[in-house]
């Protein structure tokens, strides 16, 4: 039996890849974004709806069927961690997810971030205390707490996906990988860099999409779920391998920027739960 998943932010950086992964798993999809009609080609399993889910005018009653699950990926300014929109929009995200539950959706899944945790050294799991330092992490953390509380009181399945350091489809991103590609294309010979010693959990957007799809297609493992590699890799090693893989004619200028005092020397996701989900997918 196919599962009907509503995906918001469907035409975003992550959403486009998730739609493909869900399709491969046999899901039927309601793809929602401000602009998304035809974005995924001629796919009989994808229904496109253009609209702003943060608007009070977006309502579930207009659908002819209640989705089995809501995967809420939509979020503005994800690469600007201190944009005021993270706090301005948070109540609107909560209201949207609350309306979904009130309309009969019995399974909701939100997209979070490791930045909810703030400064941490070592592995992050679902019990790691949260002390977010930027508005992005603060907004996401508040939404998770609010929707978990609302869903629990109503017996609704609730999942929260924590993303880590994402790469892939880089020309369309504002990450360091995208900046490096653009610098190389502009003919720059060097790229100003830190010491590169800090270690992070890197995951390709394609692998992340597969993990997200696997999470929302099941309802046995819930709560906070890290979508990650589970392996810490130094930033310098990752960027050097990226330069080599993409045959870029640019070199890193180590030490041009100081290491930020609020960056952990090593932080990564505990992959126990996502590995269990992938085993049964």
Picking from 26, 28, 10, the residue whose alpha carbon sits closest to that of residue 18 is: 10
Picking from 117, 199, 200, 213, the residue whose alpha carbon sits closest to that of residue 164 is: 200
Options 48, 94, 136, 200, the catalytic residue: 136
Is 32 within 8 Å of 53 (Cβ atoms)?
yes
Is 74 within 8 Å of 12 (Cβ atoms)?
yes
- Number of residues that this document lists for the chain: 281
Picking from 79, 56, 64, 76, the residue whose alpha carbon sits closest to that of residue 8 is: 76
Dihedral sign for Cα atoms in the order 56, 137, 176, 277: negative
Q: Is 104 left (phi over 0), alpha (psi -120 to 50) or beta?
A: left
Those residues whose C-beta lies under 8 Å from the C-beta of residue 197, and which sit 6 or more positions away, are: 234, 235, 236, 259, 265
Taking each helix axis as running N to C, give the angle between helix 235-245 and helix 176-185, from 0 to 180 degrees, rounded to the nearest 10: 40
d(CA 195, CA 189): 18
Active site residue 257: no
d(CA 86, CA 94): 12
Q: Are strands 251-253 and 199-204 parallel, antiparallel or unpaired?
A: unpaired
**Catalytic positions, written as ranges:** 136
């Amino acid at each position: 039996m196919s599962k009907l998943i509503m995906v918001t932010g469907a035409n975003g950086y992550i959403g486009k890849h998730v739609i493909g992964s869900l399709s491969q798993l046999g899901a039927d999809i309601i793809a929602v974004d401000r602009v998304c009609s035809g974005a995924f080609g001629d796919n009989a399993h994808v229904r496109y709806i253009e609209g702003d889910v943060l608007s009070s005018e977006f309502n579930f009653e207009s659908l002819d069927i209640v989705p089995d699950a809501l995967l809420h990926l939509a979020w503005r300014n994800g690469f600007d961690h201190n944009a005021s929109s993270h706090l301005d929009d948070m109540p609107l995200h909560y209201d949207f997810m609350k309306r979904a539950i009130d309309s009969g959706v019995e399974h909701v899944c939100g997209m979070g971030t490791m930045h909810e945790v703030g400064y941490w050294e070592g592995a992050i799991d679902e019990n790691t205390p949260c002390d977010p330092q930027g508005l992005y992490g603060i907004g996401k953390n508040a939404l998770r707490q609010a929707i978990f509380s609302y869903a629990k009181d109503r017996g609704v399945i609730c999942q929260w996906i924590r993303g880590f350091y994402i790469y892939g489809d880089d020309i369309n991103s504002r990450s360091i990988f995208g900046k490096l590609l653009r610098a190389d294309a502009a003919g720059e010979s060097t790229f100003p860099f830190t010491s590169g010693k800090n270690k992070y959990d890197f995951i390709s957007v394609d692998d992340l999409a597969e993990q997200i799809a696997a999470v929302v297609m099941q309802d046995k493992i819930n709560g906070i779920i890290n979508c990650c590699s589970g392996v810490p890799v130094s930033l310098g090693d990752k960027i050097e391998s990226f330069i080599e893989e993409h045959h870029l004619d640019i070199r890193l200028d180590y030490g041009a920027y100081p290491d930020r005092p609020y960056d952990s020397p090593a932080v990564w996701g505990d992959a126990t739960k996502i590995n269990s989900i992938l085993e049964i997918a």
